[in-house]
Amino acid sequence: MSSDSPRRTLRVALGVCLVCSVLVSGAVVGLRNKQKSNQELDRLKYILIAADLYTTDAEVISTYRRAFQPVWVDLQQGRLLKPEEAARLGLKDFDPKNLARDANLSRALTTGEDLAKILRRPNYMFIYQVIENGQVSKIVLPVYGKGLWSTMYGLIALDRDLTTIKGFVFYEHGETPGLGGEVDNPRWRQSWVGKKAFDAEGNLRLSVIKGKVDPTAAEANYQIDGLSGATLTTRGVDQLVKFWLGRQGYGSLLDNLRGGMQSNG
């Protein structure tokens, strides 16, 4: 009897482990669709927040479908892609991480080009046009780059003039809570609204500075307060915004769109 006891204990333990593993695996599989659905809802929510169109979670999907027209863009040529072109290139779900890993859909950046510290830039990005009365009134641009501890993924919205900032938000990062993590602070995000990214000649002027903006300074309308105690995160935000609004990012596209959007306004 005693000789059987260890074997019986082992069988019971293995049985419990097997049952638990089956239950856990079943839960993971069963929740996968729910997790994907929640991730998609979060993505749409942040797009609405950037465009200043978010009201409640219950209205996220309906607002997105009513107000937004997503479109692929060719960054090298600075133009919007037609749906059939995007399909021919195999562009489906937008994920900048996967695009950057694909050598056929991205290119390596030189040290001088790589302000955002992303190493490779996708050749194609997905932007979100806000449609009002049949016309484009804003665009929301995905942006990303290195902070202190992480790659920060965000969205910046420009008004119909493609110069005035309407919103800015990060939806994924791993910066230090209370320091670099203050990129999530609604007051700091609100400080971007109404600032100018470009001057009247189309030159990129926007900067995230160290310290506070002097409201009497000539450059104040192009400057954003730095994050207190987070110099490297502040620098990362400054550099990633300059990269994506500059020539390596959406700069050529914005130049090509600016005249048409103004004439439609």
Q: Is 128 exposed, middle or buried (0-12, 13-18, 19+ CB in 10 A)?
A: buried
Phi-psi region of 119 (alpha: psi -120 to 50; beta: other; left: phi over 0): left
Report yes or no: 215 and 222 within 8 Å, Cβ to Cβ.
Answer: no
Cα gap 227→148, rounded to integer Å = 12
Q: Is 165 in contact with 50 (CB distance < 8 Å)?
A: no
Phi and psi at residue 23, to the nearest 5°: -65, -45
52 by DSSP, 3-state: which?
coil
CA dist 197 and 154 (Å) reads: 16
State the DSSP code for 165: E
The residues with which 74 forms a beta bridge, in sequence order, are 79, 124
pLDDT in tens, the chain (265 residues): 455 566 677 676 666 766 666 555 554 445 555 667 788 889 899 999 999 999 999 999 999 999 999 999 999 999 999 999 999 998 888 888 888 999 999 999 999 999 999 999 999 999 999 999 999 999 999 999 999 999 999 999 999 999 999 999 999 999 999 999 999 999 999 999 999 999 999 999 999 999 999 999 999 999 999 999 999 999 999 999 999 999 999 999 999 998 764 433 3
Cβ–Cβ under 8 Å, residues 234 and 208: yes
Question: Which residue ranges make up each domain of the chain?
Answer: 68-264
The answer to whether the beta carbons of residues 74 and 123 sit under 8 Å apart is yes
d(CA 104, CA 129): 26
Q: What are the strands, taking DSSP E only, across the chain?
A: 68-74, 79-80, 106-108, 120-122, 124-132, 135-146, 151-159, 165-172, 207-208, 223-224
Residue recorded with tokens 């030159």? 203
